[in-house]
Chains A and B, each alone.
Chain A
Amino acid sequence: MLRSLLIDAEKCTGCVQCELACSYENEGLFNPAKSRIRVFTFHHEGRFVPYTCTQCAEAWCMQACPVDAITLDGDTGAKVVNAAVCVGCKVCTIACPFGTVNYSSDSGKVVKCDLCAGDPACAKACPTGAITYVDADQTGFEKMRAWAGKTDAGSAASA
C-alpha cells in the first residue's frame, strides 16, 4: 500500500520542527531555508500551513525534465531527483504548478521531497500530528490532485 504525507493544517502550531528535521535529514544542517517542506504563515488568521510535494500523479516535474533526472520510486510513489543526472536547467521548477521543486544554488541542482525513501523525517518530527505518513487513500490528496488536473493543459482531465 502506497503511503502519503497527510497534512492537517488545523493541528500545526508553526513550530517548524518539520523544516528543521527535513533540512537536517537531507542537507545535514538545521536550516529551515533548505527544507523541502515549508510552513506558510497566514498572519491575518493566525494560521500555519505546512506544504510540500504531493507526489502528484501528473508528475509535472518528471514530465518536463529534459534529461530523465526525475524518476518514480516504485516503492514509495515518490518522484525522486537523481542529482547525478540533473543538470540544473530548472525547467521542473517552473513546470510544477505547486511550487514544490526548487533550485539550490549551493548544489546547482533542484531539490524536492522524496518522502525520505519511505520514512519521512518531517512526520517523525511533528509534535502535534499535523504531518503524518498514512495510507495514500486517506489523505484527501485527491483534492490537490484535482487541482493538478485543473492546471493541466488537457492531459490529466481525460487521461
Chain B
Amino acid sequence: MHYIVIGAGPAGVTACETLRDLDPAAQITLIGGEPEPPYSRMAIPYLLVEQIDESGTYLRKRTGHYEDKGIEHIRMQVTRVDPEQRSVTLADGNSLNYDRLLIASGATPLKPPIPGIDLDGIHNCWTLEDARAIVERAKPGSPVVLIGAGFIGCIILESLVERDVKLTVVEKGDRMVPRMMDNIAGNLLKSWCENRGVRILTSSGVVGFTELGSGLSVNLDSGESLTADLVITAMGVRANIDFLAGSGIDTDQGVLVNDYLETNREDIFAAGDVAQGRDFSSGMDMVQAIQPTSVEHGRIAAFNMVRDGSIRHQGSLNMNVLDTLGLISSSFGLWMGVDGGDQATLLDEDEFRYLQLQFDGDYLIGASSLGHTQHIGVLRGLIRSRVPLGEWKERLMRDPTRLMEAYLGSVQGAS
C-alpha cells in the first residue's frame, strides 16, 4: 500500500503519522512544495521577533522524526493529479503512483488585482521565505504598511510593533478582525492598538502602489498616500486547488469532501485548509483554515484511508484566538448569533474586557471574548457538547463569566 500525502503542513504531517500508526508496513510519501522541513505558519510571528529561530517553527522537533517513522519527505510542487492513472506529477516531470491519496495542499494568500502589487517591497507573511524578507526590511523606525487587519494581519501586527517599525494598518472592513469579532470587540481592539502608537485606518481600501524613492507609496481610496519601506499584505487566503484542474475532483472554495473526508474520486481524500468540510455549527461545507481543524481533518482522513468508513467527521468548530499587542481575543462558532437567539454580554471598555455569549434556545452556540485568558477552552466544550443548559442559561445570562461552573454543572453533572 502506497499512501501519498500532498502538503507538509499540520494536516499532512498529522495524516502521515496517523497512517503510520495504523499501517506499519505501508509506504508513505509526504510531498511539500517548500524547501523546508515541515513547519508551522502559526509560529512565524514568533520568528519575526526572534523569540525562536527557524527550527522553533518546525512542526516536529525530534531529529530524524520522519525517517524514523518511514515517511519519505519530497520537497517539490505537485503539478497534476491523475485519478485514472492513480498518479501524481511533480514539478520535475516525474510521476508517482498512489493507492490512496490525501490532498492537504493548504492555502495561498490572495493577491487582489491592485495596480503595482508586484512591486519590490510588497510581501505576504505566509512562508519562512516571506519571513526572511520581512526581517531584512522591517528595521526599527522604518515605515511599514500592513494591509488587512483580519486574523492573519493581526497575528503579524504584534511582531511588527515589537520590531519597532512605524506601523500603519489599512483595513477594508469597519473594524479589526471583522470576520472574527463583532463591532464592540473589533473597535476596542482598534483603540487598544491606537493607544500603543499604531495607526489603524478602517473602512479604507488601497487603490494602487507606486515607487517612491527607494520605497513605496501606498495610495488609499481616501486620496491619502502612505510612505512605506515595506508593505505586508494579509488580505485573505484561498485554497490551493489550481493543480487539480482537469482531475475531475470536485472543488468549490476548496476541495469538496464527504463526512469521511473523501472527494468524489475514488481513493482520494482531502484535509486541512484546502478541504471544504463540514462546519459543526452550520452543518454546511466550509473552508475553515484553522490549525485545530487541520489536525482533526488529517487524523480522520488517515483513519478512513486505512480503514474505510472508520470515522465519520461530525463537523469542526470554527474558532480562533488572537493576541494583539497583549490584548487576547477569541471567538467560537456562531459568535454573531442567530435570529431569535439570546445574547449575554459583559463589557468593561476601560479595562478592554468583553465577553459575549450566543444562545439558541437552551444551547450555547457561539461566543467571543476580549481580555479573557482563563478557561476559554470551555467555550468549545459547552458549544460542542450540545447539552441543554437548563438553569445554567439564566445564570450565564446574568453573569457570563460563570462558564466553568456552567460546564461543570450542566455537562459534567457536578452540580
Q: Using CB atoms and an 8 Å cutoff, list the residues of chain A in contact with chain B.
A: 9, 38, 40-42, 45, 47, 49, 51, 60, 63-64, 66-68, 85, 87-105, 143-144, 147, 150-155, 157-159
Contact = CB atoms under 8 A, between A and B. Distances in A.
B311 interface: yes
A99 B10 contact: no
Given A97-B380, A147-B381, A147-B385, 7 more contacts: A42-B409, A67-B59, A68-B61, A87-B56, A95-B292, A95-B380, A153-B296
B72 interface: no
Contact of A157 (B293, B295, B311, B323): B311
Contacts of B323: 88, 90
B291 A153 contact: no
Contacts of B312: 154, 157-158
A90 B42 CA distance: 10
Interface stretch (B168-176, B241-249, B370-378): B370-378
B280 A153 contact: yes
Interface residues on B, range: 35 or more
Interface of B is mostly: mixed
Most central of B58, B311, B328 by chain A CB within 10 Å: B311
Interface in B211-259: none
**9 smallest A-B Cβ distances: which pairs?**
A99-B378, A97-B381, A99-B375, A66-B40, A96-B377, A151-B384, A87-B46, A99-B377, A66-B42
Given A88-B323, A89-B42, A40 B377 contact: no
Contacts of A154: 296, 300, 311-314
B364 interface: no
B380 A38 contact: no
Contacts of B405: 40-42, 49
16 contacts: A40-B414, A42-B405, A45-B415, A66-B43, A67-B57, A90-B373, A91-B321, A93-B321, A94-B330, A147-B381, A150-B384, A151-B381, A151-B385, A155-B296, A157-B312, A158-B312
B411 interface: yes
Most central of A97, A100, A147 by chain B CB within 10 Å: A97
B415 A47 contact: yes
Contacts of A105: 326, 328, 373
Nearest to A62: B295
Contacts of B316: 153
Contacts of B409: 42
Interface string B328-348: 101010000000000000000
B408 A40 contact: yes
Contacts of A100: 375, 377
Contact of B317 (A88, A96, A98, A153): A153
B127 interface: no
A99 B407 contact: yes
B60 A68 contact: yes
A67 B46 CA distance: 11
Contacts of A49: 405, 408, 414-415
